[in-house]
Structure 1
Amino acid sequence: MNWDDLKIFLAVARARKLSSAARTLGIDATTVSRRIERLAADLQTTLFEPSAGGQTLTEAGGRLLAHAEAIERAALAARADVGGERGLLSGVVRVSVAEGFGTWIIARHLGAFRKANPEIIVELIASSGFLNPSKREADLAVMLARPTSGPLLARRLTDYQLHLYASPAYLQGAPPLTSLADLRHHVVIGYVPDIIYSPALDYIAEIRPGSSPDIASSSINAQHALAVSGAGLCLLPRFIGAQDARLQPVLPEQVSLTRSFWLVVHRDTRQLARVAAFVDWLVKLIASEKALFLD
């Protein structure tokens, strides 16, 4: 078995696409495909199956992944022991986060991390839903609930508050709003009820019981844009609403919900220096920006 082929296998397993793995490795996709085929032939098994999302590991591929990562850790440890820590801080770190947190917090500071760690490539997956570190879909995730199973390490990253926000233009043309009971006369923006990807986001019923959003979107950034445009009232995390001068809080004493972000890492992945560097950076970033999350 060729170690170089194993490195290519690792890149495809992590990127899930031949083209993405090729960019990471600095070679062409044809070479990646040929080397994966050679490795599979050498092992007399199938390592990947094509799927809508790219290349999906087979059962045999999943077993090989565990061995390949163990070999990678040993190689990195040897490099650190002989050549120093600097050699470890390279490679790809795939980070899965909620869309709002990824856009409004991580993306705004990621350039600083990259400048300090120029050989680490960060793949920021900021979307409605999470990739699963337990299945090696991501190196780490910032999730809305603590996982209850899997070979994972989880810690509370921070609590955060949600408040009701609206644009001055909306409030000027809307009915009076002095109590929660008045919300029944207002347009409320929220998530599409039947495709909410986490129970932590099902919060409209907490402020207007027995009702659904009047305008719904699966995207928190779309909800924010709707609020800015004057379409209605929107429950937004403080780290979004308080950073936009075009919005103002509504009923701040009566509407204040608290949720949590959990930092989740696979037990093995946490030992990789590039992942540890990102985790340490993220924890320090959140500590320095605490006022954005809580009143």
Structure 2
Amino acid sequence: MLGNWDDLRLFLAVAREQSLSGAGKLVRLDPATLGRRMARVEKGLGATLFVKSPTGYALTEAGTQLLARAEAAEQTMRMATAGVAEPTDHLGGQIRIGAPDGCANYLLPQVCARLVAQHPGLDIQIVALPRVFNLSRREADMAIGVSAPTAGRLVVQKIADYQLHLAAAESYLAAHDPIEGIADLQAHRLVGYIPDMIFDRELDYLAELGMTRVPLASNSVSVQVNMIRQGGGVGIVHDFSLPTTPGVKRILTDQVSLSRAFYLIRHADDRRNLRLSRFADALAQGVRAEVIRLEANT
């Protein structure tokens, strides 16, 4: 038989997250300990509750039957503690976000700082990498991308459009020939991505301008911005990065204006996870508001 409410709580976490690692973040137990607890529960019940595989923990028929009873018990517990429990919008546990480094450097720090201030039990990890995250391998709980994936069991939510323009340091512009049109760029150093390391076609900004040679290149947006800030040349920058980049100004805004979008990407199996869904909504709202605020100050 099931030992106590704590065992039931742990079972619910594993059933909903479908993995020991995901459930462990929620209940603050390491996967090995949680695995032993679930094995003890199965032994006590005399039934196999999960089918274990490299992709996670799937409920057996016995597990599905127990889930219905466990959720009913959980609802009863909530009703019994109504008025003394934590607010329904409380968020806790660890959540890992994968994001391109432009978003990770210029948007997520302030958004996530506000979220953990509002939810003291919440631990947020930001993994900033210039590549696409594999949510099927659980590299992150959710990811922000610059294009909407069309393959895989994923849930995609558009967060916001954002704008990009050509920019250069005021010191660079003062020391070089005027830039009055796109043709003038041929006489100037360009800053941009390393061509063979562009991981998403939406990032191939310079191709739209017919530019092929990039004397100063990096696979990192923040490195590119710092190259521009140091007078390295002219490059495409996110408008939302400019308020924190003094001495850099947009140029040719009437001739070159690009628009892209951020998308919040989650694994389809997480749709029924209320905690991750609430966090995803709060994150999307925060990033959207921050893009609007920063772009208004360019």
The TM-score with structure 1 as length reference comes to 0.75
| Corresponding position of 1:171 | 173
Q: In 1, distance between residues paired with 2:68 and 2:227? A: 47
Relative distance call for 1:93 and 1:191 in structure 2 (3 A) is same
Is 1:122 the counterpart of 2:124? The answer is yes
Change (3 A) 1:283 1:210: closer
Residue 20 of structure 2 contacts residue 34 of structure 2 at CA under 8 Å; is this kept in 1? no
Q: Distance in 1 between matches of 2:121 and 2:112?
A: 14
In 2, Cα distance between the equivalents of 1:62 and 1:199? 29
- The answer for the alignment partner of 1:218 in structure 2 is 219
Map of 1:143 onto structure 2 = 145
Of the three residues 177, 194, 197, the one matched with 2:196 is 194
Which is further off, 214-223 or 266-275?
A: 266-275
For residues 156-184 of structure 1, what are the alpha-carbon distances to aligned partners after superposition, in whole Å with 9 as ceiling and x for unaligned?
Answer: 21111111111111111112211100111
2:277 equivalent to 1:282: no
- Which protein has the larger Cα radius of gyration, Structure 1 or Structure 2? 2
Task: For residue 267 of structure 1, report the CA deviation from its aligned partner.
Answer: 2.6
Letter in 1 for 2:77: V
Matching of residue 61 in structure 1 with residue 61 in structure 2: no
Q: Are the counterparts in 2 of residues 89 and 273 from structure 1 also a CA contact under 8 Å?
A: no
Inter-partner Cα distance in structure 2 for 1:284 and 1:273: 17
Does the CA-based 8 Å contact 2:96-2:126 persist in structure 1? yes
Q: RMSD of the alignment, in Å? A: 3.8
Q: 1:231 to 1:78 in 2, by over 3 A?
A: farther
Aligned 8 A contact 1:169 1:230 in 2: yes
Structure 1 287/221 Cα, relative in aligned 2: closer, same or farther at 3 Å? closer
8 Å CA contact 2:12, 2:67 repeated in 1: no
Q: Percent identity?
A: 28
Partner SS for 1:268? helix
- Give the AA of the match of 2:208: E
**Partner residue in 1 for 2:92:** 90
Q: What is the identity, as a one-letter code, of the residue corresponding to 1:143?
A: G
Change in Cα spacing, 1:74 to 1:184, as seen in structure 2 (3 Å) is farther
1:210-252 Cα offsets, whole Å, 9 max, x none, are: 5131111011111111111111112111111244232111111
Kept after mapping to 1: 8 A contact 2:168/2:233: yes
Amino acid at match of 1:247: V
- Higher deviation after alignment, 5-14 or 169-178: 5-14
TM-score (normalizing by structure 2): 0.75
Post-superposition offset of 1:77: 8.0
Q: 1 CA distance for matches of 2:119 and 2:268?
A: 23
State the Cα distance separating 1:291 from its structure 2 match.
Answer: 4.5
1:138 CA drift (Å)? 2.1
Structure 1 residue 81, shift from structure 2 partner:
5.3
Separation of aligned partners in 2, 1:232 and 1:172: 12
Q: How many residues align?
A: 269
1:110 and 2:112 aligned:
yes
**C-alpha deviations, 1:91-116, integer Å up to 9, x for none?**
22121111111111111221210021
Alpha-carbon offset, residue 129 of structure 1 = 1.4
Distance verdict in 2 for CA 1:39–1:162, change over 3 Å: same
Deviates more, 1:97-106 or 1:243-252: 243-252
Gaps of 5+ in 2: 43-51
Shift, 1:12, TM fit: 6.2
Q: Does the 8 Å CA contact 2:155/2:268 hold for their aligned counterparts?
A: yes
